[in-house]
């Protein structure tokens, strides 16, 4: 599994990095839109649709997003013309509320409760959350590469720190019935790791070597306490995003969301923690 995993990672980076660092946001928006279409296909299959129906759903969601993009540009879609600022802020707040309340209920209820939710509601809610995630990525990329990277690296550092912290000190399980590998020690380690990351990243921002302030600097400039609370919130929701995808997969008895990414599973397996973090990061810096 190691060789396919490495090859897939190299191939993804070969596509994503040039798109991310392109002179305009459009290439990154296009590449991530294709990933969201794939994620919508996976979501349909996880919730009982045939492969053909799931693919159609992905195309429809992608088409709707492309149509919104076509109305102006990524810049316009991301808050400078197509959508008034007040409506944009309200959207981030609503999505954040859905994530917090919905995940709290489902994680508390357990794996068995997922299939009791009406399938049309599961499908529509998932597709909408995936669509908003793409919009949040487009918005963050317009703000700046450094800003977008700070949100994404936050998730990755939290995951890596949680892995090593959990292996070193993890005894008490976080949610054993959903994800047996997660521990409270891992969660605390992830938070500490991201706080260290924030301190280092803000120093880089301070010297002006970047195209935009990071999410850490934006929050710190408002109030240092807000930065710490914001990091705690984002790290917590990164864990929640991971747990929610694990809950869905366990409810239908599959290990991966698909086999699209050899060695890595599916698109949802790679972006699960980003799904709540990206819109919530936008909420924190705009509301």
Encode pLDDT of 106-137 as tens digits: 999 888 889 899 999 999 999 999 999 999 99
Nearest to 158 by CA among 119, 123, 187: 187
Please identify which residue in the block is written with the tokens 């995936």. 130
Locate tokens 């869905």: which residue? Answer: 248
Tens of pLDDT, residues 245-277: 999 999 989 999 999 988 888 999 999 999 999
Match 């995003």 to its residue by tokens: 241
Q: Which element (helix H / strand E) includes 54?
A: helix 51-70
Whole-number Å distance between alpha carbons of 205 and 210: 6
Torsion of Cα atoms, 65 then 71 then 75 then 77, to 10°: -50
List the chain domain ranges. Answer: 2-286
What is the predicted pLDDT for the residue at 79?
45
What was the pLDDT predicted at 84?
61
In this prediction, residue 239 carries a pLDDT of: 94
pTM of the entire predicted model? 0.92
206: which 2 tokens?
């301070």
What's the CA gap between 173 and 166, in Å, rounded? 9
Compute the distance between CA of residue 78 and CA of residue 132 in angstroms, rounded to an integer: 11
Two tokens, residue 239: 């864990």
CA pair distance 159, 161, nearest whole angstrom: 6
Exposed/middle/buried for residue 244 (C-beta within 10 Å: 0-12, 13-18, 19+): buried
Answer yes or no: is pLDDT of 77 > 80.
no
pLDDT band of residue 75 (cuts 50, 70, 90) is low
* Distance, CA of 43 to CA of 40 (rounded, Å): 5
> Is the predicted pLDDT of residue 76 greater than 60, yes or no?
no
Q: Is 125:244 a contact under the CB 8 Å cutoff?
A: no
Predicted local distance difference test score (pLDDT) of residue 78: 46
Tens of pLDDT, residue by residue over 47-58, are 999 999 999 999
């Amino acid at each position: 599994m190691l060789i396919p995993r490495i090859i897939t990672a190299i191939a993804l980076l070969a596509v994503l990095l040039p798109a991310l660092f392109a002179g305009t946001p459009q290439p990154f928006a296009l590449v991530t839109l294709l990933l969201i279409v794939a994620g919508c296909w996976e979501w349909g299959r996880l919730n009982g649709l045939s492969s053909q129906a799931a693919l159609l759903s992905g195309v429809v969601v992608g088409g709707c997003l492309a149509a919104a993009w076509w109305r102006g540009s990524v810049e316009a879609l991301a808050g400078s013309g197509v959508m008034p600022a007040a409506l944009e802020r309200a959207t981030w707040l609503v999505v954040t509320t859905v994530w917090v309340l919905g995940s709290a209920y489902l994680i508390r209820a357990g794996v068995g409760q997922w299939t009791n939710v009406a399938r049309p509601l599961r499908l529509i809610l998932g597709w909408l959350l995936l669509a908003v995630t793409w919009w949040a990525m487009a918005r963050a990329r317009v703000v700046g590469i450094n800003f977008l990277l700070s949100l994404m690296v936050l998730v990755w550092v939290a995951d890596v720190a949680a892995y090593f912290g959990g292996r070193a000190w993890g005894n008490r399980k976080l949610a054993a019935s959903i994800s047996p590998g997660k521990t409270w020690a891992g969660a605390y380690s992830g938070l500490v790791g991201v706080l260290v990351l924030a301190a280092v990243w803000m120093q880089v921002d301070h010297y002006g070597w970047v195209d935009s302030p990071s999410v850490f600097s934006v929050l710190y400039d408002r109030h240092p306490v807000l930065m710490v609370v914001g990091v705690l919130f984002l790290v917590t929701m990164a864990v929640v995003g991971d747990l929610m995808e694990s809950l869905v997969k366990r409810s239908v008895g599959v290990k991966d969301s698909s086999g699209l990414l050899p060695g890595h599973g599916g698109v949802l397996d790679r972006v699960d923690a980003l799904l709540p973090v990206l819109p919530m990061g936008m909420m924190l810096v705009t509301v």
